[in-house]
Structure 1
């Protein structure tokens, strides 16, 4: 049976908690970094499917914890818009332009920030070009860079598969798909991670990304090629300069950070379960099933920013006011006891998780990201036969920010290769 919120909690589930203060839970800081799932469970018990929280800078928001409630938000852009220009705290000056939250929530001329026809026009430019790239040898690019990454540590007989493999591989592939020099990959990966993480340096790292992408767009106008950047420049949707740069930024940051995080989680599942590892090596299991499991239990974005209420309404028994910010707990929704009473039961074949969000704004690069992960795992297992986890499973740790929880390290050992 699902825990019901207390009478006291029920009394504050309307707007007084959001608009009159109160001792709210912070989704950032040292405590939130250690046990985000524990925080989600406590909030669910206290408030139910929707809980009041504070984001970085003590900015108020509603955290949607319920699976059905998240689906309702994702599927109804007329009630829950992605356009942050209607965000009341922003309109009233409660959020500064230099806030790290702006990198994730602020309005930009991209498809994520808009709804309706403007959204469809811009999204079509992205999806058309991603579809073209998907047919242009992603396997070749992933295999090339995966082998280069492995070459760097194969002779040692040990490696951290997060820091030496998963953390940078997706960005190296994206540099090739964007038409960027591979040498930019490490700098861009570090900056993308900092933008997602937030903190005082997020704005500086975002500016670095925009500078690199601006120079890329200028170069591709003169020297077009078979890449995502050239495709955006020439698409019949007629994107202007700001729209082009915003979409380069959007795809680069989201595709890299989510794919690198998910790749690390898939590798964690493989190397912490010898039966699963043996099944993959023998061919009795396939990688796609492991990816599916990771998307249910460790989605690459734990919390999805953000939606804004277009009118006063009710969600999960909670009164939401026009202009309120909602953030969607994808990790919490995936283990909602209302739809998944036993989180330990296999989810094989069930793709109804929230990992790729949903509705009109569902991740357009899901197939490309999954392809990168599956190829990266295949190459790794082929190159490092006999690789095994080199520390007890219980010693593996993760660190969370507001939006994601990332595996810190995944140390393995194997026979050194000459």
Structure 2
């Protein structure tokens, strides 16, 4: 996965940090944790992930769908919003799925097409679109919460921060795994950037 990290994850994280670094403080849940998952998926799907309007819309559409699923598809208003959101997502993703069927690139949708054909033979557009939608949805709120919790631990525990700063491979992986295991929630309070010494690039 290093090529995905270097091409799709690190540029998104750097872009998010660049947006608030000069201010000296940030609301890290909203400005970092919430921003990264949808923009990384946008990059992986070869969408214009730096477009704020598109990314905000995708975040909102996923939120409407999750709200409907969480209420077990009850409630006319929730169902109507979820269906509208689903239609909007299809309008964004379907053209890319169709394009990548015959014009493969270095993106996840191309990978879906290639792997599906290797594993199952001929597959239809609706199958690849469904998998694309499922991956994009699964990388939303859950991933944002995990990122927020990891940041909270990193900034609130000096010993953890020192260890991860010194060992950005094993210790960082252990931090992420422990954060997922603990499954605790973080708040949305503003924390000055200078409270954490970021590792040198």
Q: Same fold (TM over 0.5)?
A: yes
Alignment correspondent of 2:92: 212
Paired residues for 1:6-155 under 5 Å:
134=1, 136-155=3-22
Tell me how many residue pairs correspond in the alignment: 176
Q: 1:174 aligns with which of 24, 28, 41?
A: 41
Instruction: Name the structure where strand makes up a greater proportion of residues.
Output: 1
State the alpha-carbon separation in 2 of the partners of residues 191 and 276 from structure 1: 36
264 and 410 in structure 1: CA distance in 2 versus 1, 3 angstrom threshold: farther
* 5+ residue gaps, structure 1: 1-133, 300-397, 399-406
206 and 140 in structure 1: CA distance in 2 versus 1, 3 angstrom threshold: same
Deviations 1:139-188 (A, max 9, x none): 23222111111111001110011110111112212112112221233322
Alignment correspondent of 1:272: 156
214 and 408 in structure 1: CA distance in 2 versus 1, 3 angstrom threshold: farther
1:241 aligns with 2:125: yes
Question: How far apart are 1:191 and its partner, in Å?
Answer: 1.9
* SS of 2:26 mapped into structure 1: strand
TM-score under structure 1 normalisation? Answer: 0.39
Alignment correspondent of 2:74: none
410 and 203 in structure 1: CA distance in 2 versus 1, 3 angstrom threshold: farther
State the alpha-carbon separation in 2 of the partners of residues 196 and 409 from structure 1: 21
Q: Segments of 4+ in structure 1 off by > 4 A?
A: none
* 5+ residue gaps, structure 2: 72-77, 195-201
TM-score under structure 2 normalisation? Answer: 0.75
Q: Computing the radius of gyration over CA atoms, which structure comes out larger, 1 or 2?
A: 1
Deviations 1:231-262 (A, max 9, x none): 32343222212211111101111023332221
- Aligned alpha-carbon RMSD (Å): 2.4
268 and 197 in structure 1: CA distance in 2 versus 1, 3 angstrom threshold: farther
Is the CA contact (8 Å cut-off) linking 1:161 and 1:264 kept in structure 2? yes
State the alpha-carbon separation in 1 of the partners of residues 108 and 167 from structure 2: 34
Alignment correspondent of 1:360: none
State the alpha-carbon separation in 2 of the partners of residues 290 and 206 from structure 1: 35
Instruction: Name the structure where helix makes up a greater proportion of residues.
Output: 2
295 and 414 in structure 1: CA distance in 2 versus 1, 3 angstrom threshold: closer
